[in-house]
Amino acid sequence: MHSPLPGLILTLHLAGLVLLGGCLEAHPLVARKAARSPASASASASASASASAPPLASTSTPAPTVDVAGGSDPGPASSTEAPSRATCPLGERGPDGLTPLERGLRDALSDARLDRVVDLGPKAEEDCPPGVPCPGAPLGRFPSVDLAVVAFPEGCAPIGASVSLSADLAGVRVNAIDPVTRKVTGLRFRRWNPMRWDGPRAVPRADGDDVVAGLTGVDFDLPYPASLFKLPVAVHVLRLVDQGTLRRDQLVGDGTVQRPLDAWLDDMITRSDNTSTRALVRKLHALGAMERVNGLLAASGLSTLQIRGTSPVTGGDWRPGSIHMGAWDTVRLLWLLDPAAPPPTWPTEGTLLSPASKQRLYTLLEEQAFHEALSTSALCGVDGIVRGIPARMPARWVRRDGSVDVDELRRSRDARPCNEAAEVVFAHKTGLTLNFGSDAGIVTGIPGRARRHYIVALISNLGYRYVDANHTGGPLPCLTSGVCYAPRIPALGARIDALMKRWLE
């Protein structure tokens, strides 16, 4: 499996609200299994391009920095014009300089009290065998979580937010967004160094630690995205399909077996399968295309999305400090992939994917099995589980008796009650290792039940070694019951969704 690389700086990058004109990376339970035959791939549907939308509006007041206790310190001001149509109340700044979205996200993150999770330690897999109590202790400091949100209010310009939380920041920082490039400003993204979390925190930083050269501002150690990085891998594979270099039905080998490219793609996204990912990364290397992934993402304005150091021989070697995904750029990547979203309002070079490839990837994200982080539909009815975003569990994983069975581990005994109460579809990708946890996707209301539409991304160093107090008796709940994220994570997802429901419906 993956080595116990330490890492938990939950950097909640709830990107500053702005009106917008190696380690194995699969789920730890999947990582213990060999690749299986894929489920039948869903037929891809063509989607027509979205109608043109007005440019995102930029705030003309600075995004402040806010600590958990309150108080603010103005950030860099922007001099952009007001939007061409009326600003929704969600984007109007109050006397405190914050919009309702900024204020709500700040409070949601603060109230989550992620510093109270229990840390079972960097050797939790060794220290928590069945029947042995885990020697955990309350974390007692802020982890690093990078959290971002973009909302699509009906009749209004999209609205985004970025907030950061980390031990270095000592609280919640609402970040500013550049009015033209739509990039986060004021944060200096740094490569993750596990020694700063599980070792001496005084480990010095150097210019070589910059994720993106030339950034200035407050240091922010960007957590490893774990299997969330498979999303940009899928984007590049489908881009080569659009260009005619690859075909979805062509056979691709992993050195042992050959399968259709679309079967590898399906398993990589829906089951987070490592074998499938290695096969596709090897193929990209063989085509000389892996070296172009970062340039493609940078040309789309997403400079914190980077995949480096993968092996052209094995397709593996995925390591913290070499693979990066900032939450704000992840949200904007999903925006470019969302068939229902308006066009982007920042400079990009051409179209990322064709409508057909965009729809195919959206379908795979919609069918992703691991609803256990920001949403918890896969754990419906499990004792102690907090309901997160009220998302529908994909039918392909639900048996006739209602139980959820993913890779031979039965989670929910009956997901039907949660599906009957579901309000939204969450087309998303999760990532999980012992030390890191992430979840990012597109939330869309189920017709007749909800109308909200937003994108959320959370990148953190809260992997499955972090639990709540009721799970500290051992063994590791992730490896026995599939409860792999501390319940405070889905509780945060539910809080964000409740805000979106209030504001977007």
R_g of the chain, CA atoms, integer Å: 21
Alpha carbon distance 194, 273 (integer Å):
25
Q: How many domains does the chain have?
A: 1
Alpha carbon distance 230, 372 (integer Å):
18
- Three-class secondary structure assignment of 276-301: HHHHHHHHHHHCCCHHHHHHHHHHCC
Whether residue 2 is contained in a domain is answered as: no
Q: For residue 135, give both structure tokens.
A: 């020697």
Buried b (16+ CB within 10 A) or exposed e, 432-454: bbbbbbbbbbbbbbeeeebebbb
pTM of the model: 0.85
Helix (H, G, I), strand (E, B) or coil at 419: helix
Residue 442 — φ and ψ, nearest 5°? -105, 125
Peptide bond into 475 cis (omega under 30): yes
Whether residue 71 is contained in a domain is answered as: yes
Whether residue 466 is contained in a domain is answered as: yes
Q: Would you state the pLDDT for residue 482?
A: 80
Alpha carbon distance 177, 162 (integer Å):
8
DSSP code for 221: E
Q: Would you state the pLDDT for residue 255?
A: 87
Q: What is the CATH number of the domain that holds 432?
A: 3.40.710.10
pLDDT tens for 53-73 read 333 333 323 344 333 323 333
Q: Judge residue 92's burial from the number of C-beta atoms within 10 Å of its C-beta, 0-12 exposed, 13-18 middle, 19 or more buried.
A: exposed
Nearest CA among 41, 132, 26 for reference residue 396 = 41
Whether residue 269 is contained in a domain is answered as: yes
Alpha carbon distance 223, 194 (integer Å):
10
What does pLDDT average to in each consecutive run of 10 residues of the chain (505 residues)? 35 40 45 37 34 32 36 32 56 88 90 93 84 81 94 93 90 90 94 90 85 93 97 98 98 95 98 97 97 94 97 96 97 97 91 96 97 95 90 95 79 91 98 97 98 98 89 71 90 98 95
Whether residue 391 is contained in a domain is answered as: yes
Whether the Cβ atoms of residue 436 and residue 10 lie closer than 8 Å to each other: no
Triad 498, 502, 505: Cα angle to 5°: 120
Range of the domain at 450: 15-28+46-504
Q: Would you state the pLDDT for residue 262?
A: 98
Q: For residue 443, give both structure tokens.
A: 């939330």
Whether residue 353 is contained in a domain is answered as: yes
Q: Judge residue 213's burial from the number of C-beta atoms within 10 Å of its C-beta, 0-12 exposed, 13-18 middle, 19 or more buried.
A: exposed
Triad 449, 450, 454: Cα angle to 5°: 150
pLDDT tens for 192-208 read 999 989 987 778 888 89
Whether the Cβ atoms of residue 172 and residue 66 lie closer than 8 Å to each other: yes
Whether residue 40 is contained in a domain is answered as: no
Buried b (16+ CB within 10 A) or exposed e, 241-254: bbeeebebeeebeb
Whether residue 109 is contained in a domain is answered as: yes
